[in-house]
Structures are given as structure tokens and as C-alpha cells.
Structure 1
Amino acid sequence: MDIARTPSTPDGNQHLADAAPEPQEPAIIRREDYTPFAWNLPEVHLHFELGLEETHVTAKLSVERNPQAEASPTIRLNGDELEPQSVAVDGEQVDSWTMDDGDLLVSLPGDAHEIVIETTINPAANTKLMGLFASNGMLCTQCEAEGFRRITFFPDRPDVLSVYSVRMSGTKAAFPVLLANGNLEESGEEADGTHWAEWHDPWPKPSYLFALVAGDLVSNTDTFITASGREVTCNIYVREGDEGRTGHAMESLKKSMRWDEETFGREYDLDLYNIVAVSDFNMGAMENKGLNVFNTKYVLADEETATDGDFDGVEGVIAHEYFHNWSGNRVTCRDWFQLSLKEGFTVLRDQLFSQDMGSAPVKRIEDVRVLRGAQFPEDSGPLAHPIRPDSYREISNFYTATVYNKGAEVIRMMRTMCGPERFRQGTGLYFERHDGEAATCEDFVKAMEDGAGLDLTQFRLWYSQAGTPKITARLEKDGEDAVLHLSQEVPPTPGQESKSPMPIPLRTAIFDRETGKHGGEQLVTLTEAQGSFRFGNVGASPVLSINRGFSAPVTMSRDVSDEDLVFLAAHDDDPFARYEALQDLVVGHLQHAVSGELSDDDRDSAREAIASAIGSVLADDSLDDLMRGELLVLPTEGYLAETMAIADPGRIHEERAALRSAIGAQLEDQFAAMHERASAVPYSLSAEARGARKVKTQALIYMAAGNPDRGKAMAWEQYQAADNMTDRQGALMVLAGADGIKRTNALLDFYNRFKGNALVIDKWFSLQSMSTHPGVIEHVKALADHPEFTLKNPNRVRSLYMGFAVNQNAFHDPSGEGYRVIADLILALDPINPQTAARFVTPLGRWRRIEPDRSALMKAQLERIAKAPGLSRDTHEQVSRSLG
């Protein structure tokens, strides 16, 4: 399941939010308490009689005692908001069943039985969007992690693997397309206008991978020939009228299938691969075996309605879900503590794929920016946890950037230590050993040790310790050599006050300032709290380039001067290290400026030096525009706050805006010339054209800051001339932050032009909530009352409120009104969609790292939420952890 882009998951044993005035504290589930389920379920037969408001479900379960587990006289079948209509064992109705906290307990005297359970559910009333729910007249499912128990009673845990057969029936007028996992076995029609389909998935799978879709859909159909010569039919199902925007998704799917064969040796294993696009969806996409369900955001794309970033998102998420067919489906998780086993590994696989499909350096920078923006704050806050947690109350709250993105970085470090070829051997052994099994993170690590020849004894700490390691680096000249002195600190996190040193692999090079060259890159691995490493023949003026390619997910404090950083920004041959030098130059200046350490003269001098470094980027003909565009992006206000022990968001915004204005003013003509050059490149999806669009947007941002009248005029001109969404959105972003008739006209034109397209109207909401306009708080309140806004669509909620929550200057308004806006949202959304509501607690949870006045206001809103009656368990847990 993809969350790097839209995180969300199921909510487990959840009763109705209004069933009790106070939340029941869920029991703590601990990894060390794992025991295998007492029963195996080799076969599951499901029959669905479909209706939007009433769906009848008959589940026939073949159960056998598990010889590897302790025997039990009963079987516990999980349920959530279900009532059994009938329960039969071996063909006989039984009344001896009992209910316990929503679960169904059935006595089973023998070693093998057949259980038949009938239930009726109301998909249209399922606003949580977990289990079987309705979306614009269509029925679809989302079962990860614990949504299947909202459909029928079942041992809803990932280590129970079953072969599923599904029969679906419904009126053909309402549900002309009937889809489920696996291969279509048979279908037919009845005289009364109903029709049916029978599906069979030959591969055993856990319940979280079950999927069903029924609705009025059309498909884009293509074929893929596997490496062994098998023909696979690929379908992408969408609403009629949207099929013309599925071409990029289909090409991305076929590229993913070929890449996985060539890079990891993994071939697809069914005759069909179906994708369905759904507009009401809590997450990005779901990898259900043979029937992926996607948020429309990651399927539909064309140049008029999708930005270059949207095209990348489609490609990356399509790949992510396809790669899960092996890293998640064929080898699944023993329990939810092992979630990073499938998600961290699959995020790495989709990152490597995207690197190969486009610009590897740019993709690496983008991935690190996501990690720093989402995971580093998580690791330093009240919600910190290891990539393999030891305990949880609600698993829905552990679909996190730590599990996904840091998990990917941990496996990437293994690849860095052994190289791509040995990494392929290790992963191949993992797939071979555990195909058809529910595995653990330890199984993966052991396969990498045996297959890739790594000793990962100490490395296992990356799975058990939370927190981002802090590295200090100092280079000392010693004759003809240089000695690199390194130290590490793994900071305390909730429940882990004392940490052991971690193995930190750091790609390192020592440049000679006089020649601009280095003597070769080395991989140095710091395994103790302190360590020193000698480099020979480094020249008279050595300059340190460290953590090249971001080889380890750490923060780095290096003893380098601004002159060294300017040198690296101009000469480093590692693209990420060059980017990092510029970032460090800006971060260092802004840290001093925000703290008040700089005189006016020092501040002006530093701004001129940074502008000069940016000017070198503009003038460097060796750079392609994709990379140039990345080098021009200033560190975000959120990332700057993360680099400070206690942050003052107002001062950060003020100093960053002033720096951007100074750069824009000093380089106004150069930015104008770059914009003119890039505007001459016609639209395509080539690297050249995409790069041109990227630097055009950056030029507008800097010019609007340095010369607002000229920048606004250029943005308006670009908006009017735009023949693609990237240029149109880039211009509107600049205009949305300004005052005047051009802003009003552009926003009105954008809305009227695209008001029939939900995904583009999401952009219209987010552009306003993320803008630098001083009235953004009032704008957000007004937009919440707009006819196009609804709390029942997660995309629309995220577009308005998540955009606002990352808008640091507005969210941290000194009045505290920004905090109240988010708290009001959480309280309104929680009864409708608890897991989406819980995601919005995170911004408020950073209160301990914000200056005292704002901190008190943030904490007060958390306390207000905590006191609300009937709070869901999802939200209650996040608020409780945030308050500590």
C-alpha cells in the first residue's frame, strides 16, 4: 500500500464512535507476544449479493487445526460493526457462538471443519472507507490492515493465508463490471436483470489483500508478454470519459513489469492484472493480488490536467503497487510489526525504478527531501518509533514515514554496503526461501547475510532503535594525509532513553581545492561512538565531501567553512553532495539570522554570497535544467525548523523570505533570461522539456520575491499562455500569494476552466491554502464552506487542510487561529473518517519544538481534542502520545 504520498490505513477493532462517551483505551499489542493462529484456513469461498445500501455476504471457511500452534477449542473470528445472521458448522446451524469485543467465537470440537457465516452490511453508510464501501455509485474494498473484518467474520491477521474463490451477483444496470482477485473463471446473466461472476485466485493470500469492485466502468486494455513468454492482459478500469487519461499509467505498468524481471528476476504470475481508479480513497493505492485499487490521483494524467510531478506520481505509485506482487503478496508479513518488511523494501524498489526511468540524481534529492520533511520530524518528536515497532495500540497509526521511507533507507544502506550484484543475490535468496510464506524483518536480514555475504549483526540496531543519528565530522590535515574524525549520537526517543552506536556507512571523498579533483571515493563505516579514518595524498588544501548520495539517513554537522561549501557547490562531482553544499550554506546562514547573531552588514554579506552561488548555478552550462531546478530550491521552512532545537516559525519565515527576495533582486536579469530561454522549449515529457518547466517556475518564484510587479506580470503572462498544467499551476502559485485583480481573475478562471475535474479542483483548494497570501486563514475558512468542499472525500480534505498544515507561516500564526482550524477539522472529521482525522494530529504534535508562546497554544488545542467525547481510538492514541 502506498502512503509516501497519501498515508492512511485501517482502524482495527473499531466500534461506532458515538457508542460510548469516552474512548476505550485499546490494549497494547506487543511483538514479543506473537503466537501463530491455532487454525489454518486453506480455502475461503465468498458469495456477495451486491447492493449499495444492503450487501449480503456468505463466507464458507475451511478450517483445520494448525499443528504448529497451541490447540484451542474455539476459533476467534474478528469482526468490526458486524452482527452474524447465521452461523453453521459442518452444515448444521449452531447457537453456541458468543461475541467478545466485536469478535465471533465459535466452538470447534474436531480437527477440521467447515464454517458458514452470513452477514449483511451497508456499504453506502461506511464513511470510514474501510472494508466494503460505496464511492459514487460504485462498490469497492480497502482491507489493509484490518478492514476485512468489516465485511465478514474472519481471522483478520496477515499470517493466515488462504486460497480465495469469490462469486459476486448484482443488477447489471447498477454493476455492469464485477471484479475480484485472481482470474475470472465464469460469468453469466439471469432473466431478472442480475448477472454474476466467479473469480479464483490460486495464490494463498492474507485477508488484507482481498479485493472486490463492482460498478459502471470502462477499461483501457493492453497486453504484456512476460520473460517466459506468457501473455498477461492488463486492464485499467475508470469512469467513462476518463479512459483517455490512463495511457501514462498503462505504460508505467508495463515498464514496471519489465524492470522487475530484469532488475530483481521477478515475473508476474496471473493471466490478468487489473487496476481500478476510485475517487473516494483513504490512501494512494492498494496492492490487492491481481486487482489493485488506486486513488484516481495516481492513475489519471494528461498534460492539460496533470503536472510533471503528477506524472511522476502515477509512474511511481503504479510501480510500487506492482512490485508488491512479490515484496508483499508472494512473501507477506507474519504480523504488522513487520510492516516495513514489505513497505520499506517496496519503497526502495519503486525509488530505484524511478531513478532508472528518469534522472537518478534528481530522484535521489526528491526522496531525501521527503524523508527530511516527513520522517526526520517524526523521529525527533513524540511519535518516534523504530522501523519495526515493539508495540502498538492501533496499527493504523503505524503506517508512517518511518516504516516506509526510513525503512527504504535502511535497506538501501545494505545495498550500498554490498553493491547491486550482491544485493540482487541476497534479495533473490529472500524470495526463494520465503515464497508463499508470512515472513519477518529478521528473515530478510538473514537472507541478506547469507545471499550477499554481509555481517549484519550490529546493523540490526537500525530495526530496533528509533531516532535519527547525529554525525559530527571534522577533517584534520596530517602531513600529506588527512584524518577524518567522526562521532555519532543517537538521541533519546520515547521509551528509548539510552541508545547503542549504529553502523553508519558514509560515502566520502576528499577534494583538493587547488585542482578541484578528489583521489577517489571511499565507503567509511562508523561503528562506534567515535572513529577516525585516514586518507592519503590529499593535497595542500583538502575539502571534505561526506555522505555522498545520502548514503545514510543521518543529520550531519561538519566542520567546514562557507568557502568550502561554495567550493563543493561548484566542483563536487556527486550531484547530491553538490545540492547538499548549497542547502548547508543557506541553512547555516538562516540559523544565524533567525537567532539574531548577525549584524546587518554580516547578513547582507551572507545574502550576497548565497546569491553569487545561485548565480553560478544559473550560469553553469554543464547542468541540465532538471538538476538546475533542484539546486535552486531553498530549504523549506519546515526543514529549517527541524534543524533548530526550538523554532520560531515567524522569524524563520521572515528571514527565508528576505533571503529569497535578495537573491531575486540580485539575479533578476539572469532569472528573466532563464525564463525566456525555457519558455521557448515546446511541451513534451522529455527530460529537456520537464527541466525547462521546472526552472521557469523557480524563475517566477525568485522574480516575484525580488521584483513583485515584474514577477506578477510574468506569472500572469505565463498563466494565460500555458498549454500544460505544470506551467499553469506554477504561475497560479505565484499569483495566489499576491494581492490584486490578477490573483482574483486567475483563481476564477482556473476554477471555471476545470470545475468538472475533481483532481484539478483539489489543486485549486491546495494552491490557496498553501499560498503566502496574508489572509490565508480566512481563505481556508471560507473554502471549507465552498459547495465543492466535502469532509467525505479524503482527497478534498487533504487538498485544503494538509496544504494549510504545511504552510508554516499561516499554520503558526501567532494568534493560534491556525492551530484552532486544524483542531476543528479533526473534531469534525473524526466521526466520519477516523484514520484520516488522526493524520492531522501530527502537525500539532510538534509543540515541544516551537517557541513558548505558540507552543502553549498548540498544546491547548491538543488538550481540547483529548477532552472531546466519543473520540475514535485512532485519534485518541495520536493525541495521547503527542501530549505525552
Structure 2
Amino acid sequence: MTSSNPATVYRLDYTASSFLADRIDLVFDLAPSVTQVRATTELHRNPDSENRDIVLYGEELELVRIAMNGKVLAKPDYATDNGELRIPDAPDKVTLVIDTLLHPDQNTSLMGLYLSNGNFFTQCEAEGFRKITYFPDRPDVMATYTVTLRADREKYPVLLSNGNLVEEGDLPNGRHYAKWEDPFKKPSYLFALVAGNLVCREETFRLADGRDVLLQVWVEKNNLDKTAHAMESLKHSIRWDERRFGLELDLDRFMIVAVSDFNMGAMENKGLNIFNTRYVLANPRIATDLDYANIESVVGHEYFHNWTGNRVTCRDWFQLSLKEGLTVFRDQEFSADRTGSESGRAVKRIEDVRTLRQLQFPEDAGPMAHPVRPDSYQEINNFYTVTVYEKGAEVVRMYQTLLGRDGFRKGMDLYFKRHDGQAVTCTDFLAAMADANGRDLSQFERWYSQAGTPRVKLQSHYDEKNRTLTLILSQSCPQTPGQTEKQPFLIPVAIGLLDSHGKDMPLRMEGDKAAPNSRTLELSEESQTFTFIDVAEKPVVSALRNFSAPVILEYEQSDDELLHLLSHDSDHFNRWEAGQRLALRRLLSLTKAVQADRTLTLDSAFIDAFRAVLTDTALDPALRELALTLPGEMMIAEKTDEIDPAATHRARQFMRRTLAENLEKEWLNAWQENRTEGAYRPTPQDAGKRALKNLALSYLLLLDKPAYGRMAIDQYHTADNMSDRLAALTSLVHSGWTDKLPEAKALPDHFYREYENEALVIDKWFSLQATSPNADTATVRKLMKHPAFTLKNPNRARSLIFGFCHNNMAQFHAADGSGYTFWSENLIELDRINPQVAARLARCMDQWKRYIPSLRKPAEQALRNVSEQSLSRDTREIIGKTLSA
């Protein structure tokens, strides 16, 4: 912990490492209280560096011995200062032998080597390897690794590391060893080891080239029955990457290991992926449809990193989106392809854009706004953000939109041909895309260097006499921290036109031979005009189809035009978007009415539009569920000048209740007609039906009719899957029926007793209570005293503390400031345990300066109370930027 401001690292200050590593041999003698590590590293001088000093990094290490080329070193042969070990004026070739001692049982940060449920695990991205040994721990230093693990055989029968197992055997005193070799050079952040009492599901899998490989999913014994879906997801991922990008698994085996204490979702360590149990364990009893989908997506994401991140990695951490944005795009495409239908692809696209808008757009407008390729950081852990990941994926998607699917594949092929085995930059990826397609993409690089969400304004004019449609597109981008002036982006804007019958119209420009029904315009200047000819009638414009760029579209359309798009647009995304715009328009009006203490009303035209979607059985149930889900409270707040959480919450609740009252019959029909028959299947089709059914149930429970409460209770007791059971319980708790019906009151306790040995389900139990509109800080504080709660487990902390602070907007922003006090107290305590998780909790207050005045003062006081503490680098950077924005 530190009270001083950490140093800022700048991208433009990058210099190559003075020495490069050729190979490293690691030997671990594993024990919980004291683990001994011997690292033997062969290095050579980097010809691109003028520095003759060896610079190694280490944190929280007990250095026992260091020798260079056989000579034991003592100060002043080397110096240690602020996490660096420096050996001055070293020879051109060096073999270093370094002995360190670690204390895994004291490591609550979950970075480096730590214990979870008595087993050893590592997490080295971004800079965790320096908690294991002194090493040039930076992504552009790549070496081959040999790893020997020694441990007590009875306590730790399984010993795993990267690559291939080459040797194992017994040692004296009941100990044993395993030796692993990774034939591929990698940076230290991809190193991993696992040692413990684990079991595995394994299969032999034949690759496209005819090789047989071993696939393993390692878990604690009581979880083995929950690994089938993860294994199937891994096989689907391997096959998809072979077919879509021609990329094959390059090792003899591929391992997934599940751990319950983990800061992130998963980690792509070469050949040994370590996962949060949340993204591995599933069966119908404990996992929802969303859990099943997330497991497949995350398994795919980490497997795809084998090429986009491991075989080709980042030169420095500023290039993080080179691997993460690209791999998020790949996992999005994988998940979309796995749906097996165009409507399924649209559902996936809508879900991804909702995430972008709810999380990334606010980040772009807040104190932590940064480019996809940041220019500076104080703590790299703070830049594992939705901008780097989700906006980075949108940047990659725009390559495919601009170049076409085949052109994108050509660019990928050239990228791997040029850079396999290298640590490179985002500019190298852009160059591969440009060169493979013969295009000048120099302007496109601004997507990497400029922060903020661009705004695209569209104006349209139809000339009935000449049958032309003129579109004027203009762009701008708001100021962001450190960037006051922005240059025009290259923005792909996909356009369609609908006639009065809702049919797509041909789009022809002067000189065109073909007239497609949809085309992508390239906006590269501040303002451009595009004219379409032979337009038979005044069309309704369908703009930014499939969300072709991560921008805010400003285009005034009447309710009638939006209703036309909602009813007829062939682009499923824009059909959904029209409904969201209609709803948001009314929600903003209702929010103002709440603030002005006016009577709240909802027009019949909007209710009828909702009814039409709800009863349109030709539309995929999953699409209907998305179309009928109102914009979230944060989405509404982002569109207001000042954020008034209480008013926003009341406006949205009024709209939901009004829709429940006016569409009661239709909601009931939807609940009845979308029940699934037979054994549970987590298919997109069945999951979509369950989603629509359970949305209908949540609306019905807003009505003061005990029959619906009992209907939900019956669903809870008879459900054969967690999706239906959890949805019933959540709706009962959130709508207050657990206080109204005696039969419902006991259900939260019943749920807990039923699943008290299933940690992931208990996370859901904490979360559903923390996010209830009825849960104030007193409720959450009481839950924190429950025997099952601990701040030390990230999943548990996220389920309750984050659930309340991030996802219970009205209660967190209580007028008395109690939510902010709760946040500050828990942030300070969590920072002492796990700075990385604490820094994410700190982000709750990004928008505090936009709160209404009565909330701004207690919010600022809470922030200042935190800032006066001795904080980690991670949290201090967030709090400092939030206060000074």
C-alpha cells in the first residue's frame, strides 16, 4: 500500500529491453507458507538497446541468492529499488540463477502464486510474474520455459504447467515431481502452474490435420459432473477456429483448470488456461441459460487467444487491445455462428451493443476515458477496461465491415504470416489489413489514438420531382481528458431504405451498375453528402444497420417512422433499435415529469406497438424478449443533463407497471405459450423461449394479483432448471411478493438451503437480493454478516457489494448518502485485501459530477474520505482521476 501518487508510464517513452531472454528453467518446491523458487535464465544483450544494464522486476519477494555466470553476486554487484533489480554493465551473454522465497498463504491479491481451497494457482497477467521471481517481466521479452514442480504427493497429486509433460516421478519423503516444457517462446505473463487435489474430464480430439490431442478440464472432485459443457465448448472452439481462420491447436494437449478465487473471468496461459469456476461449471441444476452461453463464449475467447495473444502477442501493455479487442471480436463471431440462424446472430449483436452502450459509452464520457490504445497509465491493471475489450472489438469489426469477410480473412492470414512468434503493435495489425487488401487505412488509426464516442449526425432530403434522396452525414467527437481536439474518423455507416409497405428499396448512386438493398457509406470527413437516384417514393431511412460503427447516431425521426422500422425493418438490429428509441423518448419525458411532480402518463400508440411485438409469433422469442426489455436506468441517465437516479427509477417503474396493466392478457399468453417441453436444453431456441416467458412473468408480478404470485411460486418449485427457478425467485423478491404472500416469504431461505454447497448459486442468491429495488444499505449490511459472505472471494464480493453499488441505482444513490458511505467503507477494506478488485469497485463513482446537486456533495465527501487513506496504486489512480476530472 502507498499514499504517494504512482509514477505515470507513457507509450511514447517505450524503449526496448536491454537484455532478451532465450530460455528460463523454473524449479518450484511448493509449500503453502514458504515456497522456494529457483529461476535459471539465459539472456543476451539486445542489439537494439544501448543500455548495458540488466533490469529485472520483482515485488514482495524474499531474495535468497543471485548468481551470474557462476559467480554469486552481492551488493554493490546489483541494486534493488522500487521493484527493480539492476545489474550494471553486464556481459553480452548471461546465465542468471536466482533463488527466491514466496508465501502463497499470505497472498490475498490473487496475483502471482497463491492458494485457493488448499490448491496452488498462479495469475501473471499483467505483472504477476514479478511476484514469483526477478525477471524482465514485460510482454516483449519472450523465452522458452521448462518448469519442474515438486510437492507432497498426497496433498498435491496433480502438478501442471504450460506446454507438454515430459517427465514425472517420485521423490523421497512422500514427495513427487513433474517436468513440463513449452516449445513456444512466450512472455512471462503467459506462465502458469497449478498444483493440488484435482480431477479431470478428458477426451482425445482429432484436429483437422489428423493429429490427436488430449483435452482436459480440471476441477475439484465435487465439480466433475459440471464439466461436460465446458468440454463441448472447447471442442466447438477448436473446430470453429480451424474452419473460420485456418488456425489449429499447436500443442499435444490443451488444459482448462477451474478455480473459485480468481480476479478475472479466465486467463489464456499457453496450453493451461485458468478459469474462474463461474465460466466452467454448469449443469441444469445450478446454471442458467446465460451461464451456459457465457461459458461457451469465455472458453472460446481463451482458446482463441492461443493465436491472437499467445503466438502473436503485445509489444507493450499499451497495445493490450491488439490481443483483447481482436479476441473479443473472435469470440463474438464464434457465439453468433453457434446460434445457427440469422435471428440468433442478431440477438448476439444486440446483446453485445447493449453491453457497449451500458458500460463503454459512459466510460468514454467519464474521467477514465482513454483511447483503445492508451497513451499513459499509472497502474496497468486499471486498463483492462470495456474500452480496450468491447470498443476494441468494435474497431476490429469495422475492419471486416470495410474490407468484407474475405478481405478481413486475408488480413488475418498476412498478420500471422508476418508476425508469428513476435510481440507487435496495433499499427502492425492495421498494416496487415491494409496491405492484404491494397487499401490506405492510415485515417482508420485514429480509432486507436482518439478517446470518446463519436457522434454522427444524419440529415435526409427527398426530392419527389427528381426521385433522389440526399443524405448529409457529419461527425464530431467530444473532448476527453488530455484530448481537446479531435480529427475526423473513418466511419462505416450502413444504410437501408424502406418503402411505404416496409420493403427494402434498391440503393443506386450515379454510375452504379448494381443497386443493393443495403450499403455501407464511408464517412471520412467532418461532413459528406451522398445522393441516391431512382428512389421511387419517400423512404424511411434505416441508418447504422447492424450497428456498423461504435458511434452515437443523431437522426430525428418521427414516432411513425420509428414504428414503421419496428414493424418492418429487415435489419433485426435496427428493428430492435427503433423500439428502444421509442421507449427512451418516453422514459426521458417521464423522468422530467417526475422531477416536475406532474402526472405520469403513457400514450396508447406506444402500448399498441409493444402489444404488436409481444404478439408477433413470427418473430424469434429471443428477439421479442430483447425488444420488450426497456432501456436500463443507466442508459436513461446517460441521456440526461443531470443524473437523478430516483426520478429515473420511478419513471421506468411507472412504464413497466403501465405496460403490465394494459397488456396483462398478452403477457399471460406469452408466459403460457413459451414454456419448453421435455428435458432441459440450453439451445438458443429454448433459451429464447424461457427468456420471453420469464420477462412476461416479471411484468405480471407487478400487478397486485396474488394469483400471479402463486403462479411464480409454482414455477419456482416445479422448475427443472436454474433459469426458470432463479427467474421466479428474482421476480418475487424484486416485486415485493416475498413480503405479501406467506408462501413466498420462505423462498429465499429455501433457495439458500437447497444450494448452500454450490458457491456459484449462492453468489446468485446474494446478487438477487442486493439488486432488489427494495434492498437498502441496511439490507446489504445484514447480508454481509451472513456466514457465507466474505470479501476475500472476488465472486462473492462482486455478487453482493458490486451488485448493490453497480446495479441498484435508486438505492445506491439514496438521498441520505448512505449508499456512498457504504461504498467508501467497503472500498477501503477491499483495497487492503485485493487492490485489483477494489479498483473496479471504485469505478462506481465515475459520473459523480453529473449527479443532481443534492447527491453531488455526499458523493464528493465519500470520494475524499477514500482519497485520504493509504491506498494501492490501482485504487489511487481511479480515485485521483475521478476527483480531478
2:369–2:481 Cα contact (<8 Å) kept? yes
The 5-angstrom pairing of residues 59-70 of structure 1 reads: 59-70=39-50
Deviations 1:230-288 (A, max 9, x none): 11100000000211110000000011001001111111100010111000000000000
C-alpha RMSD of matched pairs (Å): 1.5
Greater CA deviation, 182-191 or 672-681? 672-681
* Residue 601 of structure 1: how far off its partner (Å): 11
Aligned to 1:6: none
Counterpart for residue 627 of structure 2: 631
Q: Which residue of 1 aligns with 2:54?
A: 75
Whether the 8 Å contact between 2:496 and 2:504 is mirrored in structure 1 is no
Residues 594, 651 of structure 2: 8 Å contact kept: no
- What does 1:470-509 correspond to in 2, within 5 Å? 470-479=455-464, 480-509=467-496
Residue 372 (structure 2) pairs with residue 371 (structure 1): no
Partner of 1:527: 524
Q: Cα–Cα, structure 1 residues 501 and 837, in superposed 2: closer, same or farther, change >3 Å?
A: same
Q: State the alpha-carbon separation in 2 of the partners of residues 686 and 210 from structure 1.
A: 35
1:345 counterpart (326, 342, 359):
326
Distance 2:502 2:72 in 1: 86
Residue identity in the other structure for 1:530:
S
1:735 and 1:742 in contact (8 A); partners too: no
Q: Which residue of 1 aligns with 2:271?
A: 290
Hey, what does 2:512 align to over in structure 1? none
Residue 714 of structure 1: how far off its partner (Å): 2.3
Correspondence for 1:465 among 423, 426, 450 = 450
Deviation at 1:311, TM superposition (A): 0.2
Whether the aligned pair in 1 keeps the contact of 2:20 and 2:43 (CA below 8 Å) is: yes
The answer to which of 732-741 and 721-730 deviates more is 732-741
One-letter code aligned to 2:527:
Q
* CA pair 160-680 structure 1, distance change in 2 beyond 3 A: closer
Aligned to 1:686: 683
Q: Deviations over 1:138-168 (max 9, x none)?
A: 0010000000000000111000000000111
Bigger mean CA offset, 614-623 vs 99-108: 99-108
Amino acid at match of 1:483: T
**Alignment partner, residue 580 of structure 2:** 583
In structure 1, distance between residues paired with 2:262 and 2:596: 52
Partner of 2:510: none
1:225-304 equivalent positions in 2, closer than 5 A: 225-304=206-285
Q: Is the 8 A contact 2:771 2:808 kept in 1?
A: yes
Q: Are 1:434 and 2:414 counterparts?
A: no
Which whole-Å deviations, capped at 9, do the CAs of 1:368-407 have from their partners, x for residues lacking one?
Answer: 0111111011000000000000111111111100000000
Provide closer, same or farther for how the CA distance between residues 832 and 591 of structure 1 changes in structure 2, counting only shifts above 3 A: same
Distance 1:757 1:598, change over 3 A: closer
Question: 2:711 aligns to what?
Answer: 714
Query: CA–CA distance in 1 between the matches of 2:549 and 2:497?
Result: 18
The answer for the alignment partner of 1:794 in structure 2 is 794
Paired residue for 2:847?
A: 846
TM-aligned CA deviation for residue 814 of structure 1: 1.3
Which letter does structure 2 place at the counterpart of 1:662? T
For residue 435 of structure 2, what is the aligned residue in structure 1?
Answer: 450
Q: Is the Cα–Cα contact under 8 Å of residues 663 and 706 in structure 1 kept in the other structure? A: no
Q: Which has the higher contact order (CA 8 A, sep 6+)?
A: 1
C-alpha deviation, 1:707, in angstroms: 4.3
Kept in 2, the 8 Å contact 1:660–1:706? The answer is: no
CA distance in 2, matches of 1:444, 1:24: 38
Does structure 2 conserve the Cα–Cα contact (< 8 Å) formed by 1:592 and 1:598? no
Whether contact under 8 Å (2:602, 2:658) holds in the other structure is: no
Query: Does structure 1 residue 335 correspond to structure 2 residue 313?
Result: no
| In 1, Cα distance between equivalents of 2:596 and 2:62 | 71
Q: TM-score, normalised by structure 2?
A: 0.95
SS in structure 2 of the partner of residue 419 of structure 1: helix
Whether contact under 8 Å (2:329, 2:396) holds in the other structure is yes
Give the equivalent residue in structure 1 for 2:69. 90
Q: What letter matches 1:532 in structure 2?
A: T
Cα pair distance change 1:768/1:488, threshold 3 Å:
same
Query: Which letter does structure 2 place at the counterpart of 1:375?
Result: Q
Of 282, 288, 306, the match for 1:307: 288
User: How far has the Cα of 1:602 moved from its partner?
Assistant: 9.9
Pairing of 1:854-873 with structure 2 (within 5 A): 854-868=855-869, 870-873=870-873
Partner of 2:513: none
Deviation at 1:712, TM superposition (A): 2.4
Gaps of at least 5 residues in structure 1 are: 1-16
Shift of 1:365: 0.6
Q: Of the candidates 32, 52, 63, which is equivalent to residue 32 of structure 2?
A: 52
CA contact (8 A) 2:776 2:812 kept: no
**Structure 2: segments with no counterpart, 5+ residues:** 507-516
The question of 1:403 aligning with 2:388 is answered yes
Deviations along 1:423-465, one digit per CA (max 9) or x if unpaired, are 0000110011000000000000000001133321111110000
1:685 aligns to what SS in structure 2?
coil
SS in 1 for 2:686: helix
State the Cα distance separating 1:690 from its structure 2 match.
1.3
Measured after TM superposition, the shift of residue 410 of structure 1 is 0.5
How many Å separate the matches in 1 of 2:832 and 2:657? 44
Post-superposition CA distance 1:286-308 (Å, at most 9, x none): 00001000000000001110000
Q: 2:14 aligns with which of 14, 34, 45?
A: 34
Aligned to 2:509: none
**Distance of 2:573 and 2:239 partners within structure 1:** 28
Partner of 1:205: 186
Q: How much has 1:225 moved relative to structure 2?
A: 1.2
1:759 maps to what in 2? 760
Q: 2:653 — aligned with what?
A: 657
Return the alpha-carbon distance in structure 1 between the equivalents of residues 181 and 672 of structure 2. Answer: 58
Per the alignment, residue 875 of structure 1 pairs with 875
Distance 1:327 1:280 in 2: 26
Whole-angstrom CA distance in 2 between matches of 1:716 and 1:627: 27
Residue in structure 1 matching 2:701, options 699, 704, 712: 704
| 8 Å CA contact 1:285, 1:317 repeated in 2 | yes
Task: Name the SS of the counterpart of 1:241 in structure 2.
Answer: helix
Structure 2 contact 502–569 (Cα < 8 Å) conserved: no
In the alignment, the residues of structure 2 paired with residue 158 and residue 748 of structure 1 have an alpha-carbon distance, to the nearest angstrom, of 48
The number of residues matched between the two structures is 860
Hey, what does 1:148 align to over in structure 2?
A: 129
Q: Which amino acid aligns with 1:819?
A: Y
What's the CA shift string for 1:631-656, capped at 9, x where partnerless?
Answer: 11110001111122322111111111
The residue aligned with 2:161 is 180
Mapped partners of 1:712, 1:821: distance in 2:
32
% identical aligned pairs: 46
CA-to-aligned-CA distance 1:571-611 (integer Å, 9 cap, x gap):
001110000000000011111222239999996353x2222
CA distance in 1, matches of 2:204, 2:502: 54
Measure, in 1, the Cα distance between the counterparts of 2:5 and 2:597.
54
Instruction: Tell me which residue corresponds to 1:731.
Output: 728
User: Is the Cα contact below 8 Å between 1:339 and 1:403 reproduced in 2?
Assistant: yes
d(CA) in 1 for partners of 2:598 and 2:826? 45
Instruction: Give 1:52 shift.
Output: 1.1
In structure 1, what is the Cα distance between the partners aligned to 2:872 and 2:599?
A: 52
Give the residue type in structure 1 aligned to 2:593: G
Q: Which amino acid aligns with 1:338?
A: Q
Shift of 1:838: 0.8
Distance 1:689 1:710 in 2: 26
SS in structure 1 of the partner of residue 833 of structure 2: coil
Query: Relative to 1, partners in 2 of residues 1:112 and 1:628: Cα closer, same or farther, differing over 3 Å?
Result: same
1:165 maps onto 2:146 in alignment:
yes
Offset of residue 685 of structure 1: 2.2
Query: Could you give the per-residue CA deviations for residues 595-632 of structure 1, whole angstroms, max 9, x where no partner exists?
Result: 239999996353x2222111111221221211111111
Shift of 1:174: 1.1
> Equivalent residue for 1:7?
none
Q: Is the 2:593–2:599 contact (alpha carbons within 8 Å) kept by the matching residues of 1?
A: no
Q: Deviations over 1:771-791 (max 9, x none)?
A: 122x43221111111110001
